[in-house]
């Protein structure tokens, strides 16, 4: 789905999506190698009633959003994709990111690159959870993996924890009629 009505989401939509996609205290969670939870979900809020535009890090353990940057960052992030400029008009984007160096270091005894590989797998599980939540609740999403890596690194750096790179972006909005 690539056409979202520009209708604001409610704060309960944001909470529901993130809890089901990346929460880990409710049982509605995702698998993570050695429970390291290598992937961070950052909510890029554009049009959500009761939530100021900005980038919010989601802590799935306590189901909490913490603002990392104010203002609307959707346009700049959408421009750093290969073909998803339409994402700028979606009420909210979920950025999935990891600190690849840290992941590789933690799983170093398994060989080079294994930690990052586990992060990609974890991102896939989170993404599928978000698809399932969206289809169960009348929302739409698309996994966007086509990124202009240097442009995305520039656009996302101020929005993410230090050392993180974006694995994928998932716009979230109401389904078009
Ligand atoms: C690894 C991966 C990367 C993707 N990257 C993009 C992307 O950069 N832009 C995009 O519009 N869709 C992207 N998609 C979504 C697919 O194009 C989409 O799932 C497929 O075309 C089905 O289309 P539908 O969502 O319209 O049914 C990606 C999907 C996967 C699994």
**Arch. (CATH architecture) of 11-174:** 3-Layer(aba) Sandwich (3.40)
| Beta strand 54-59 pairing with 64-70 | antiparallel
Q: How many CB atoms are located within 10 Å of the residue 50 CB?
A: 10
In the block, residue with structure tokens 């992941």 = 103
Q: Is the CB of 145 under 6 A from ligand 1?
A: yes
The alpha carbon of 51 and the centre of ligand 1 are apart by a number of angstroms equal to: 28
Atom of ligand 1 nearest to the CA of 86: 11
Per-residue pLDDT of the chain (177 residues; tens, 9 = 90+): 577 888 999 999 999 999 988 877 555 578 899 989 999 999 999 999 999 999 999 998 888 999 999 999 999 999 999 999 999 999 999 999 999 999 999 999 999 999 999 999 999 999 999 999 999 999 999 999 999 999 999 999 999 999 999 999 999 999 987
Distance from the alpha carbon of residue 82 to the mean position of ligand 1, in angstroms: 11
Q: Where are the domains of the chain?
A: 11-174
Q: How far from 60 is each of 29, 40, 64, 96, CA to CA, in Å?
A: 9, 9, 7, 13
Instruction: Give yes or no for a contact between 88 and 44, defined as CB atoms under 8 angstroms apart.
Output: no
């Amino acid at each position: 789905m690539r056409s979202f009505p520009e209708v604001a989401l409610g704060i309960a939509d944001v909470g529901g999506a993130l809890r089901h996609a990346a929460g880990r205290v409710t049982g509605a969670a995702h698998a993570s190698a050695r429970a390291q939870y290598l992937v961070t979900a950052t909510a890029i809020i554009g049009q959500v009633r009761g939530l100021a535009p900005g980038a919010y890090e989601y802590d799935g353990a306590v189901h909490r959003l913490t603002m990392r940057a104010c203002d609307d960052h959707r346009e700049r992030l959408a421009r750093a994709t290969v073909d998803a400029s339409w994402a700028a008009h979606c009420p909210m984007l979920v950025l999935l990111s990891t600190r690849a160096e840290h992941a590789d270091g933690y799983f170093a005894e398994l060989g080079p690159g294994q930690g990052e590989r586990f992060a990609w797998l974890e991102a896939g599980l989170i993404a599928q959870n978000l698809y399932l939540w969206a289809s169960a609740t009348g929302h739409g999403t698309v996994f966007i993996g086509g990124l202009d890596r240097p442009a995305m690194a520039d656009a996302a750096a101020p929005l993410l924890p230090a050392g993180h790179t974006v694995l994928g972006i998932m716009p979230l909005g109401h389904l078009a009629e």
